[in-house]
């Protein structure tokens, strides 16, 4: 007999996000008890304004990991699109909208290049994006003359506070999370991404060409990286060619803490957002209690490993039940 | 009969969900080549893996030179001198021949490999078994497949080898390499090593076996001396006598073929295959494993590229190029793959996701999914096909084989293909689900679709097909209309490409 019961919506959401939310609350409580200044509005506004760049890249990285790929070039792409944007404003005297568009196009092009090379030539995205990391970083130094290029306040509106101290950048990042989540769960594109990450050959033999979809995912991450670049530019009122060095590790860590599988086929944008929050709260909290840089890095590293172990444990337990 | 057989089996059986091997009695003498043969799935590999210690028997006993023999593992069997060379070679291609030969016990001093000693040992061993033409220092990956097979055999012969089991050793060899293998076998025989030679190539069996043992559906049919037996005798033993009542297929109205395949080739697996299927027709493709059946379907579906040949759809005068599965699906062709787990299903995803995968445009508006409609359509198909599950959100990996296959079938039913290619549609499927699948296939045919079914189960094909084409060694050697086939003629055609004599005319 076939029976049909839809699992309760609440049960699903609670099961999926409860662990992450619990970890987050635990961290907040811990840092709150360690520092009187932690649980204040100020801290949260700071965190909220710190995370947009990380968040938008993490959304794109979630998609890349879901199709069983990886992209290490996000930080460099961020710097290059920021640099080109500043070049257009300072040297070519473009208007801000055109310069921003150039920045976004740059990022998209980088992602597209990574995608096309790795998909068409069937090369590991790890290596191709490692190459792109160097190429884009070199490009960033080239277009900025290896110096921080000050643009001035024409772009800082992106990062100025609006209602309750929240910046437009944060609102954009939030919208991207919402769109990203709906895309993953409710669109054909999202369904195809999940399918490709689960079993690419099965997708191909179901009549779906995986290649354009994979390329689009890398291009999308490129675009999102350049949006992160614009946020960063607005924050500094300048294009810094050294911006985003090593940020790919933070981005990947946030996505993995959120439970997205490096093997592909499984992931959630909302969980990724929790991952970003956990990384950011950890960082802000440790800064607040005056932890030294080495301690901070050691603890962040341990948290990442613990998160993946926990995820693996949950996964094996689930499999054993079947 | 020699006084004491080297190995004796009594009542050996093996059952998983269903018995795959029952009540096998067999003896093997020293220095004898025993051929083990039978149809696909007759139990040849299972039986030999029991002897080699890879599988534990569910019942029965074995004796090795009158001592009870119950190997706990492959390793235990190897210690007693019983070795098996599997169909898939287990050599490491980047290591040298010598390193592969002595992989488990490389000569070393303080952790450093003693290369000179190793190569000397290997050279000596290879010379002793007549393989001195292979350089022990050469990486295995650089050798041809035939020589790799020889190295694999050489590895099995290190130390005390009393019984060597070869599972389809010639599947990938050229005729010249086969001759070399036979020389090896003759040498081993002379050294009183016993051999079990698993093959469905009767020409080879006839050439080297002393006795031949025929299995059918997991039962021992007969073991007889090769001398005085013809290939026809053996085929007759493999087939058995049971005749099935066939379902009645409706007579087809004359119509232009829905699918016409013209001289489709992909060297060396598919050679110049031509056939046509009319609307409402179920066309079966029989043949042994490796005869090119799966490859043929993959060519039609665009999953592999053909070297030459053309495909005509809907009776059109000009051929339709099908460069990719995407194009095939677009043109109304669907394919149920041989291995549903690795090639069709997203195992940890839900029944809904798997069902609508090829047809998302029917459940979307402007790229956005309509979950309710998606679920409703899946529900409808799940009811039609009687897919047994707790909920439609259940991961397909949790379903039984039969229900998994129904999900794949549902995918293509939803797509409403004109041509459906089915590769082993009932493999690993229980009887009940099987009947549901047959019924659905007949319904599709009645709706004017064209079906192409590949199956190793001849009785299945004889039951459901309008015509059966038989492939042998990459060619479609003969096509039988319904009523003009017999299991034996089908089997003879299936073997014809492999036997050394010319295919028989019947």
CB contact under 8 A, B360 and A188: yes
Render pLDDT for B139-154 as a digit per residue (tens, 0 to 9).
998 888 778 888 888 8
Statement: residue B77 has pLDDT above 60:
yes
Nearest of B271, B276, B216 to residue B240 by alpha carbon: B216
3.40.50.720, 3.40.50.300, 1.10.3720.10, 1.10.10.10: CATH of B259-496: 3.40.50.300
A9 domain residue, yes or no? no
CB contact under 8 A, B342 and A202: yes
Render pLDDT for A23-47 as a digit per residue (tens, 0 to 9).
899 989 998 888 888 888 888 888 8
Render pLDDT for B412-433 as a digit per residue (tens, 0 to 9).
999 999 999 999 998 877 777 8
A208 domain residue, yes or no? yes
Statement: residue B444 has pLDDT above 50:
yes
Contacts of residue A1 in chain B, CB cutoff 8 Å?
A: 388
Contact B185, B23 (CB under 8 A): no
pLDDT of residue A14: 52
A12 domain residue, yes or no? no
A4 domain residue, yes or no? no
Contacts of residue B353 in chain A, CB cutoff 8 Å?
A: 191, 194-195
- Could you please report the per-residue DSSP string of B71-98? -SSHHHHHHTTEEEE-SS----TTSBHH
Q: What is the CATH number of the domain that holds A162?
A: 1.10.3470
Q: How confident is the model at residue A6 (pLDDT cuts 50, 70, 90)?
A: very low
pLDDT of residue A128: 97
Render pLDDT for B462-500 as a digit per residue (tens, 0 to 9).
989 999 999 999 999 999 999 898 888 998 898 888 765
pLDDT of residue B29: 93
Residue whose tokens read 């409403």: B416
Quick one: DSSP state of residue A67?
A: T
pLDDT of residue B504: 40
Q: Say which residue, B469 or B44, is predicted with more confidence.
A: B469
Q: How confident is the model at residue A91 (pLDDT cuts 50, 70, 90)?
A: very high
As a whole number, the mean pLDDT across chain B is 88
pLDDT of residue B112: 87
Nearest chain B CA: its distance from A208 CA (Å): 6
Please, what sign has the CA dihedral across residues A21, A26, A29, A30?
Answer: negative
Domain B1-81+161-242 has CATH 3.40.50.300: yes
The rounded distance, in Å, linking the Cα atoms of B168 and B233 is 21
Q: Say which residue, B238 or B97, is predicted with more confidence.
A: B97
Nearest of B289, B237, B270, B231 to residue B87 by alpha carbon: B289
CB contact under 8 A, B348 and A194: no
Q: Please give the residue range of the domain that contains residue A258.
A: 31-313
Of A6, A186, A199, the CB nearest to B369: A186
Statement: residue B243 has pLDDT above 70:
no
Residue whose tokens read 């029965």: B60
Statement: residue B2 has pLDDT above 70:
no
Rounded mean pLDDT, A285-302? 89
Interface test with B, best of A1, A2, A192 (most B CBs within 10 A): A2
**CB-based contacts of B202, cutoff 8 Å, min separation 6:** B37, B231, B234, B235, B495, B498, B499
Of A187, A202, A208, the CB nearest to B344: A202
Q: Could you tell me if B383 lies within 8 Å of chain A, comparing CB atoms?
A: yes
As a whole number, the mean pLDDT across chain A is 89
Of B326, B367, B390, the CB nearest to A209: B326
Rounded mean pLDDT, B69-78? 90
Return the top range by mean pLDDT from A135-139, A149-153, B174-178. A135-139
CB contact under 8 A, A207 and B353: no
pLDDT of residue B501: 43
pLDDT of residue B503: 39
CB contact under 8 A, B325 and A3: no
A149 domain residue, yes or no? yes
Nearest of B286, B257, B253 to residue B456 by alpha carbon: B286
Return the top range by mean pLDDT from A10-19, B245-254, B404-413, B481-490. B404-413
Nearest chain A CA: its distance from B462 CA (Å): 28
Strand duo B467-472 + B282-287: pairing: parallel
Rounded mean pLDDT, B385-409? 90
Render pLDDT for A173-194 as a digit per residue (tens, 0 to 9).
999 999 999 999 999 999 999 9
Please, what sign has the CA dihedral across residues B166, B169, B171, B172?
Answer: positive
Which chain A residue is nearest to residue B327, measuring alpha carbons?
Answer: A207
Q: A115-129, B156-170, B172-186, B289-303: which range is least confident on average?
A: B172-186
| Domains in chain B: boundaries | 1-81+161-242, 92-159, 259-496
Do the domains at B1-81+161-242 and B259-496 have one common CATH topology? yes
CB contact under 8 A, B357 and A187: no
CB contact under 8 A, A206 and B324: no
pLDDT of residue B203: 83
Statement: residue B502 has pLDDT above 90:
no
């Amino acid at each position: 007999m076939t029976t049909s019961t839809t699992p309760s919506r609440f049960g699903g959401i609670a099961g999926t996000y409860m662990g992450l939310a619990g970890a987050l609350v635990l961290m907040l409580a811990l840092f709150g008890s360690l520092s009187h200044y932690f649980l204040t509005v100020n801290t949260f506004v700071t965190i909220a304004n710190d995370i947009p760049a990380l968040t938008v890249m993490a959304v794109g990285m979630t998609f890349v990991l879901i199709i069983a790929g990886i992209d290490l070039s996000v930080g460099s792409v961020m710097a290059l699109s920021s640099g080109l944007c500043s070049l257009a404003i300072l040297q070519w005297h473009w208007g801000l909208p055109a310069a921003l568009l150039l920045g976004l196009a740059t990022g998209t092009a980088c992602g597209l290049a990574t995608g096309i090379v790795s998909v068409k030539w069937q090369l590991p995205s790890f290596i191709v994006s490692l190459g792109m990391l160097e190429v884009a970083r070199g490009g960033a130094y080239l277009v900025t003359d290896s110096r921080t290029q000050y643009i001035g306040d024409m772009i800082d509106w992106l990062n100025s506070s609006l209602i309750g101290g929240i910046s437009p950048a944060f609102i954009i990042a939030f919208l991207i999370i919402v769109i990203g989540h709906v895309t993953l769960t409710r669109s054909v594109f999202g369904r195809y991404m999940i399918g490709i990450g689960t079993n690419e050959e099965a997708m191909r033999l179901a009549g779906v060409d995986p290649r354009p979809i994979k390329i689009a995912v890398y291009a999308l991450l490129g675009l999102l990286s350049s949006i992160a670049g614009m946020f960063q530019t607005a924050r500094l009122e300048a294009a810094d060619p050294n911006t985003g060095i090593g940020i790919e590790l933070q981005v990947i860590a946030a996505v993995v803490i959120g439970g997205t599988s490096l093997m592909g086929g499984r992931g959630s944008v909302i969980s990724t957002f929790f991952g970003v929050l956990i990384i950011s709260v950890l960082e802000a909290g440790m800064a607040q209690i005056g932890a030294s840089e080495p301690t901070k890095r050691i603890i962040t590293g341990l948290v990442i490993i613990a998160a993946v172990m926990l995820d693996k444990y949950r996964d094996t337990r689930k499999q054993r039940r079947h | 009969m020699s006084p004491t057989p080297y190995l004796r089996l009594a009542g050996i059986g093996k059952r998983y969900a269903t018995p795959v091997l029952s009540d096998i009695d067999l003896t093997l003498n020293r220095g004898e080549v025993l051929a083990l043969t039978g149809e696909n799935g007759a139990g040849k590999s299972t039986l030999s893996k029991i002897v080699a210690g890879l599988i534990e028997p569910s019942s029965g006993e074995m004796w090795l030179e009158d001592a009870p023999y119950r190997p706990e593992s492959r390793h235990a069997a190897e210690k007693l001198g019983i070795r098996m060379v599997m169909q898939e070679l287990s050599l490491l291609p980047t290591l040298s021949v010598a390193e592969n030969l002595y992989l488990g016990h490389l000569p070393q001093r303080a952790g450093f490999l003693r290369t000179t000693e190793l190569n000397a040992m290997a050279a000596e061993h290879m010379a002793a078994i007549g393989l001195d033409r292979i350089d022990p220092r050469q990486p295995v990956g650089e050798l041809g497949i035939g020589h790799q097979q020889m190295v694999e055999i050489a590895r099995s012969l290190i130390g005390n080898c009393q019984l060597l089991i070869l599972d389809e050793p010639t599947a990938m060899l050229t005729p010249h390499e086969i001759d070399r293998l036979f020389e090896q076998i003759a040498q081993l025989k002379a050294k009183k090593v016993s051999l079990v030679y698993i093959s469905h190539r009767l020409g080879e069996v006839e050439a080297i076996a002393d006795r031949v043992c025929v299995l059918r559906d997991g039962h021992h049919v007969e073991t007889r001396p090769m001398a005085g037996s013809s290939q026809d005798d053996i085929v007759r033993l493999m087939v058995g006598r049971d005749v099935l009542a066939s379902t009645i297929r409706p007579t087809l109205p004359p119509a232009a073929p829905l699918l016409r395949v013209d001289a489709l080739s992909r060297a060396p697996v598919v050679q110049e295959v031509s056939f046509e299927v009319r609307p409402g027709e179920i066309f079966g493709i029989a043949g042994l494993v490796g005869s090119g059946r799966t490859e043929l379907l993959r060519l039609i579906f665009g999953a592999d590229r053909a070297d030459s040949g053309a495909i005509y759809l809907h009776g059109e005068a000009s051929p339709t190029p099908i460069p990719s599965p995407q194009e095939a699906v677009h043109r109304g062709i669907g394919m149920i793959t041989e291995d549903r787990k690795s090639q069709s299903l997203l195992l940890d995803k839900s029944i809904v996701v798997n069902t609508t995968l090829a047809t998302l445009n029917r459940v979307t508006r402007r790229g956005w999914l309509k979950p309710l409609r998606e679920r409703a359509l899946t529900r409808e198909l799940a009811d039609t096909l009687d897919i047994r599950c707790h909920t439609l959100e259940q991961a397909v990996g949790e379903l039984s084989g039969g229900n998994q296959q129904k999900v794949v079938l549902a995918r293509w039913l939803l797509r409403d293909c004109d041509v459906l290619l089915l590769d082993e549609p009932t493999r690993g499927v229980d009887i009940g689900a099987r009947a549901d699948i047959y019924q659905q296939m007949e319904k599709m045919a009645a709706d004017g679709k064209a079906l192409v079914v590949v199956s190793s189960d001849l009785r299945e094909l004889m039951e459901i097909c309008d015509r059966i084409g038989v492939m042998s060694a990459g060619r479609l050697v003969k096509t039988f209309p319904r009523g003009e086939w017999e299991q034996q003629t089908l089997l003879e055609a299936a073997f014809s490409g492999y036997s050394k004599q010319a295919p028989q005319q019947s």
